[in-house]
């Protein structure tokens, strides 16, 4: 039976007591009456007006306004009505001419470069020109004013427009524009925003699509972190991320939306250029990307501003008394709108207005020219007043981040051959005839004679022109040029080399067994107590701080939360309780390696972004570091990030019971591909101390070359408790270079067969056991070497090879270190053999490597090591086999050893 409101099943509200069912019934009856008398559109309109009125929050009455959830989707029209737009503060005519010059020079730069087959992108900036120019003229704060200025994440494919504007403001020359995508000579312009390649201009690498929006969110969050911790006042900094609607398909693009909404990051604005096109076709051919994104962002707690239609639509929408136009705008898919932008008025009249009888009359009142204006050019993203209104609403909104969904036409002003064409991503140049058409459309004073040759010219209005005076005045008012990257060296006073934190590890652990993971955590905990640098450490952990023994930092350092701690923690009565604080130091990010690395990147580049060097360390399961987020590590390197990356619980056989996906035997191979990653696999706690001390000196200390500091350190540490020995004398250089003799063979008989065992990380213990077995069971003398960095040994050897080609006589360190060492070399590690094999070409002795190639598996450590053939007995047999191949022992001994050890 139907209930009182006509439903056959109870609704969600039926479980809440209704104190006045009669009043409720009257409201519902009123809705039904309007629907029957005036139609569903009128009923929906009234419901929306009531909801908007309630959401406006009349808080003057008792208890304030009602707390109503917002709709996830609104009509397909502008959020800000024309009547509500603020007065435009600029000179529109001058700004239009500046924008026209930028459009021209961007297209000219790419076209000139295309003669060399270099390519480039034209259509993206053409659609987004006013989105950028309005910001440059009125919003984007530079670094020459107070604070740190704004942080701009430029859409990668729009870089030609930024270069063209930098040419206008005098920061780039024609010669530099002519070296777009020609970097080998050292003075070219990179194709996209690459800070490492053009470090005075670009702050953030964004063209690995999806990483820009993710990084922007965590940058805005880190700005708040610096402010809340009292490091720097960042309240005047705003983060702007310019994105493409197609880019929003990348999982990383929307991965942290909820974080931004949850923490109320109103210092952040996304500007999504909704030209409805991906690289090769429509973004949502049969759907509507604007509506989809609106729902996603609203659900995540963002303020959404839709800037879709230009002013030509105002009068047409005002005539839509029956809602037919809004209904039609809502139902037409994106691919069809793209088609409308390329067809004639007759097609639009028939297929848009003729599809709904209620619209035919409205369409009949519009001239052909008006129809073409509506569907081909009149987009809010092409009108500075609409863009300004959206930006102003964004920066004035408090309590939530803002996304601006700005509709444009891809390839706008480039002519009919470019605009809204699926192929415009592959179209890299304009003909001179197309440039003449573009000149006329933009009303640029370029004479025909300048376009008579076969090369389109760059054009500048002149340093004393009204345009340039205006441009300079506006940028001066906003704090100087943008985008811009500034580095003012600010070395940190580092702990002394004999600091007790280092000494504690260098002296060893006595009889206590500790893992190198715990040794690192103890070291950093002690360094965080240092008066000068302690507050600059930024621990970043993806949820499992307790796994790495970091809970001792909770009460002292605190976990950062912009709200502090609004609850009573369940472990409050324990010494190491879970303490959140607004000024907390630890960034405990939850289960997100991507978010954690974005956090790390913001901290690792704070020395440039804010002029405040911070010392981040990002600690994680080593398997879930480089493998999961290698693309972000490349972006970190491009952004010249500095800090410590810690692959904890490392190795393929030390994570007992965790199995295949937790068994890291290859992250050092992945790290070796990143030129900025200084990689180490320390065997002992004292090696950790030496490496961290050197890393701090190189990245943060006084007196080092600034360019040498643009690296980050990757250390793998283990969860296998071992007695940590004291540091032998004189090994610091070998630790840092990557190889030193740790323990020579002792008591060997004269003439005994000899060999060299090289090991890194936890494998040093297998090598030491093998050294004993070789001596006791087979009369073989083996020296054991610690190899903290196979990768650094290889890099130094490659530098020596390059120097020899230049006529210099340089011998690689690894060759010199092993020079004269008798017998073959056997390298062993908890990594794939390809990791130690990096140095094989520079080892003069016979080379053998032993490693953990293949997939990981769940078992005890001993069983896993036997499976991979890296346990001490297996290493012993491999060593004997290497000797047998040289004829130093009888081959029968190899078989005998294998049988004795049950291999």
State pLDDT tens for residues 86-122. 999 999 999 999 999 999 999 999 999 888 888 788 8
Please, what's the largest Cα pairwise distance for the chain?
110
> CB atoms < 10 A from the CB of 510, how many?
10
Report the C-alpha gap between 58 and 61 in whole angstroms: 7
Report the C-alpha gap between 100 and 754 in whole angstroms: 76
Q: What is the pLDDT of residue 900?
A: 96
Report the C-alpha gap between 191 and 156 in whole angstroms: 8
Q: Tell me if 564 sits within 8 A of 582, measured CB to CB.
A: yes
Strand partners, 180: 189
**Alpha-carbon distances of 847 from 826, 827, 878, rounded to whole Å:** 6, 8, 11
pTM, entire model: 0.94
Q: What is the pLDDT of residue 422?
A: 52
The set of residues, in sequence order, having a beta carbon less than 8 Å from that of 822 and lying 6+ positions away, is 754, 755, 756
Q: What is the pLDDT of residue 756?
A: 98
Residue 238 tokens read as 């705003």
Q: What is the pLDDT of residue 659?
A: 79
Q: Tell me if 380 sits within 8 A of 423, measured CB to CB.
A: no
Q: What is the pLDDT of residue 61?
A: 45
Report the C-alpha gap between 501 and 496 in whole angstroms: 10
HEC assignment per residue over 742-804:
EECCCCCCCCCCEEEEEECCCHHHHHHHHHHHHHHHHCCEEEEEECCCHHHHHHHHHHHHHHH
Burial class of residue 855, CB neighbours in 10 A (0-12, 13-18, 19+): exposed
Strand partners, 541: 588
**Alpha-carbon distances of 535 from 347, 562, 689, rounded to whole Å:** 66, 18, 19
Among residues 213, 195, 148, the alpha carbon closest in space to that of 595 is found at 213
Q: Tell me if 702 sits within 8 A of 491, measured CB to CB.
A: yes
3-state secondary structure of 242: strand
Residue 301 tokens read as 């707690």
Mark the ranges of the chain whose per-residue pLDDT is less than 50: 1, 58-63, 423-424
Report the C-alpha gap between 853 and 19 in whole angstroms: 70
pLDDT tens for each residue of 520-559: 999 999 999 998 899 999 999 997 888 888 888 888 999 9
Which residue in this structure is represented by tokens 């192929």? 423
């Amino acid at each position: 039976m139907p209930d009182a409101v006509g439903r056959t099943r109870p609704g969600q509200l039926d479980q809440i007591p209704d104190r006045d069912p009669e009043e409720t019934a009257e409201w519902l009856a009123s809705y039904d009456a309007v629907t029957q008398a005036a139609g569903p559109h009128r009923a929906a309109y009234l419901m929306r007006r009531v909801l908007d009125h309630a959401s406006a929050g009349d808080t003057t009455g008792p208890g304030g306004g009602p707390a109503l959830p917002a709709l996830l989707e609104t009509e397909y029209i502008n959020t800000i009505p024309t009547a509500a737009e603020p007065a435009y503060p600029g000179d529109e005519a001058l700004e239009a001419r500046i924008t026209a010059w930028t459009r021209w020079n961007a297209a000219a730069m790419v076209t000139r470069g295309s003669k060399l087959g270099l390519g480039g992108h034209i259509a993206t900036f053409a659609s987004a020109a006013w989105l950028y120019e309005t910001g440059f003229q009125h919003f984007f704060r530079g670094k020459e004013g107070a604070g740190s200025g704004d942080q701009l994440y430029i859409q990668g494919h729009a870089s030609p427009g930024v270069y063209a504007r930098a040419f206008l403001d005098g920061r780039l020359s024609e010669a530099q524009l002519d070296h777009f995508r020609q970097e080998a000579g050292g003075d070219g312009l990179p194709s996209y925003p690459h800070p490492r390649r053009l470090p005075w201009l670009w702050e953030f690498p964004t063209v690995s699509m999806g990483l820009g929006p993710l990084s922007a969110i965590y940058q805005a969050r880190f700005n708040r972190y610096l402010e809340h911790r009292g490091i720097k006042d960042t309240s005047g900094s705003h983060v702007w991320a310019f994105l493409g609607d197609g880019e929003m398909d990348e999982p990383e693009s929307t991965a942290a939306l909820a974080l931004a909404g949850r923490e109320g990051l109103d210092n952040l604005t996304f500007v999504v250029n909704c030209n409805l096109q991906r690289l090769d076709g429509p973004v949502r051919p049969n759907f509507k990307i604007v509506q989809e994104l609106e729902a996603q962002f609203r659900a995540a707690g963002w303020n959404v501003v839709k800037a879709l239609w230009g002013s030509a639509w105002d009068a047409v929408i005002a005539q839509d008394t029956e809602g037919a136009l809004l209904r039609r705008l809502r139902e037409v898919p994106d691919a069809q709108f793209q088609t409308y932008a390329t067809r004639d008025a007759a097609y639009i009249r028939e297929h848009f207005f003729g599809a709904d009888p209620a619209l035919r009359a409205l369409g009949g009142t519009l001239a052909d020219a008006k129809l073409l204006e509506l569907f081909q050019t009149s987009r809010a993203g092409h009108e500075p007043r609409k863009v300004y209104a959206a930006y102003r609403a964004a920066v004035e909104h408090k309590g939530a981040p803002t996304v601006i969904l700005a509709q444009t036409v891809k390839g706008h002003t480039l002519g009919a051959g470019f605009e809204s064409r699926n192929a415009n991503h592959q179209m890299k140049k304009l003909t001179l005839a197309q440039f003449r058409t573009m000149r006329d459309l933009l009303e640029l004073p370029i004479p025909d004679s300048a376009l008579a040759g076969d090369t389109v010219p760059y054009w500048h209005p002149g340093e004393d022109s009204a345009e340039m005076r205006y441009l300079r005045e506006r940028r001066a008012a906003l704090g100087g040029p943008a985008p811009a990257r500034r580095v003012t060296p600010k070395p940190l006073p580092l702990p002394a080399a004999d600091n007790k934190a280092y000494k504690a590890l260098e002296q060893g652990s006595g009889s206590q067994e500790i893992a190198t993971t715990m040794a690192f955590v103890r070291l950093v905990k002690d360094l965080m107590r240092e008066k000068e640098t302690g507050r600059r450490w930024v621990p970043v952990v993806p949820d499992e701080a307790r796994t790495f023994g970091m809970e001792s930092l909770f009460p002292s350092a605190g976990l950062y939360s912009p709200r502090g701690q609004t609850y009573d923690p369940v472990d409050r009565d324990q010494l190491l309780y879970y303490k959140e604080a607004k000024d907390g130091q630890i960034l405990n990010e939850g289960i997100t390696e991507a978010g954690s690395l974005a956090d790390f990147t913001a901290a690792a580049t704070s020395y440039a972004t804010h002029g405040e060097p911070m010392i981040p360390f990002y600690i994680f399961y080593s398997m879930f570091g480089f493998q999961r987020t290698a693309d972000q590590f490349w972006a970190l390197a491009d952004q010249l990030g500095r800090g410590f990356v810690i692959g904890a619980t490392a190795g393929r056989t030390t994570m007992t019971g965790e199995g295949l996906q937790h068994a890291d035997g290859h992250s050092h191979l992945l790290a070796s591909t990143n030129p900025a990653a200084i990689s180490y696999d320390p065997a002992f706690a004292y090696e950790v101390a030496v490496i961290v001390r050197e890393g701090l000196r190189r990245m943060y200390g006084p007196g080092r070359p600034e360019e040498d500091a643009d690296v980050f350190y990757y250390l793998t540490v283990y969860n296998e408790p071992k007695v940590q020995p004291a540091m032998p004398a004189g090994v610091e250089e070998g630790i840092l270079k990557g190889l030193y003799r740790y323990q020579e063979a002792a008591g060997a008989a004269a003439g005994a067969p000899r060999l060299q065992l090289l090991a890194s990380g936890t494998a040093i213990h297998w090598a030491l056991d093998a050294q004993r077995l070789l001596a006791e069971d087979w009369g073989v003398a083996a020296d054991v070497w610690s190899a903290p960095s196979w990768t650094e040994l290889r890099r130094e050897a490659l530098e020596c090879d390059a120097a020899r080609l230049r006529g210099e006589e340089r011998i690689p360190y690894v060759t010199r270190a092993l020079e004269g060492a008798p017998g073959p070399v056997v390298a062993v590690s908890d990594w794939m053999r390809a990791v130690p094999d990096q140095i094989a070409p520079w080892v003069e002795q016979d080379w053998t490597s032993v490693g953990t190639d293949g997939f990981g598996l769940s078992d005890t450590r001993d069983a896993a090591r036997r499976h991979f053939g890296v346990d001490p007995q297996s290493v012993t047999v491999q060593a004997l086999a290497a000797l047998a191949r040289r004829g130093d022992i009888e081959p029968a001994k190899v078989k005998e050893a294998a049988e004795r050890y049950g291999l």
